[in-house]
Amino acid sequence: MEKPLHVLVVDDNREIRELLARYLRGQGMTVTTLGDGRGLFVALEANAIDLIVLDLMLPGAGGVALCRRLRQKSAVPVIMLTALGEYGDRITGLDAGADDYLTKPFDPGELLARMRAVLRRARGGTTEQGRILVFAGWRLHVDRRELVDAGGTIEPLSAGEFALLMAFVQNPQRILDREKLLDLARGATTQIFDRSIDTQVMRLRRKIEADPKSPEIIKTVWGSGYLFTPEVTRA
């Protein structure tokens, strides 16, 4: 029997925590809730967490700072909740390492749909499963969602980064505009604005480029999109 998903909900609003806990448990999931971020890393060490729902405006260490710390240790998928709904706050959350965002107030059914989409990406929903793809000195282990450099060091990838990199390696030496990247990397079920792709690209460049400010692997084609320049082979 498949083990139920374990979701960690971190929000200082008790009503939202209780609502989400009831709803997600009703969907057959295991749910742990926290009112602030102080116990987040303890909960991660004590449980096999599959996904985190993280409020942006938490007391003490805010959601953005927590997400940045989290990304130094783990690639567990994160959906950020924000009551602000401003473009800059969404970009900030994505840039910190969140895989998606949802603006309050929201329908729990929409959160569930986004969770499923993020988890599909995190699990590498692709026919390349089990493959190792090689490009520019990097090895991408698709089934483990691991990016390994020439020296054997693993570079963790968030679900969004993995999905975007897969879109590029499956379409090398081809210009991809934002709309196409949205379709390939994030899926039709996730409604986001196209500029978030720019943020995801910047995050990915920081991991794979020798000089992210002068990229050679993912190049910008002004007015058209992005070009993944290396040849991609299978190991």
Return the CATH number at 45.
3.40.50.2300
The whole-model pTM stands at 0.61
- For residue 29, CA distances in Å to 4, 11, 18 come to 5, 18, 14
- Examine the domain organization and report whether 87 and 144 are in the same domain: no
User: Greater confidence, 8 or 1?
Assistant: 8
Sheet holding 175-176, edge to edge: 175-176, 225-228, 218-221
138 and 201 inside one domain: yes
Report the alpha-carbon distance of residue 140 to residue 16 in Å, rounded.
38
**Token output for 13:** 């609003």
pLDDT of amino acid 15? 94
Q: Are residues 139 and 118 in the same domain?
A: no
pLDDT of 137 higher than 90? yes
What DSSP string runs through 39-99? THHHHHHHS---EEEEESS-SSS-HHHHHHHHHTT----EEEEESS--HHHHHHHHHTT-S
pLDDT at 190 over 60: no
| Residue 85 zone, left/alpha/beta (φ > 0; ψ -120 to 50; rest) | left
* Rounded (5°) CA angle 182-90-8: 95
The last residue of one of the domains, among 122, 151, 174, is 122
**Is there a single domain that holds both residue 93 and residue 158?**
no
Are residue 68 and residue 114 in the same domain, yes or no? yes
Answer yes or no: do 75 and 93 share one domain. Answer: yes
| For residues 118-143, average pLDDT | 74
Structural domain that includes position 69: 6-122
Judge contact between 37 and 8, C-beta under 8 A.
Answer: no
Residue 197 in domain: yes
- 137 is written with which tokens? 């000195």
- The DSSP element (H or E) to which 18 belongs, if any, is helix 14-26
pLDDT band of residue 183 (cuts 50, 70, 90) is confident
Total domains present in the chain: 2
Kindly indicate the confidence band of residue 134, based on its pLDDT and cuts at 50, 70 and 90.
Answer: very high
Residue 194 reports pLDDT greater than 60: no
**Domain check: are 110 and 178 in the same one?**
no
pLDDT recorded at residue 123:
63
Q: Is the pLDDT of residue 127 over 70?
A: no
Residue 126 has pLDDT above 50, yes or no: no
One domain, residues 42 and 67: yes
Q: State the DSSP string of 141-193.
A: ETTTTEEE-TTS-EEE--HHHHHHHHHHHTSTT-EE-HHHHIIIII-TT----
Helix 108-122 and helix 14-26, axial crossing angle in degrees, nearest 10: 70
- Structure tokens belonging to residue 173: 């030496």
Greater pLDDT, 126 or 23: 23
> 122, 141, 173 — which closes off a domain?
122
| Domain endpoint, select from 94, 122, 150 | 122
Instruction: Tell whether 83 and 160 lie within a shared domain.
Output: no
Q: Is the pLDDT of residue 117 over 70?
A: yes
Question: Could you count the other beta carbons within 10 Å of the beta carbon of residue 49?
Answer: 19
Q: What is the pLDDT of residues 71-82, one digit of tens each?
A: 877 778 899 888
DSSP 214: S
Model pLDDT, residue 160:
78
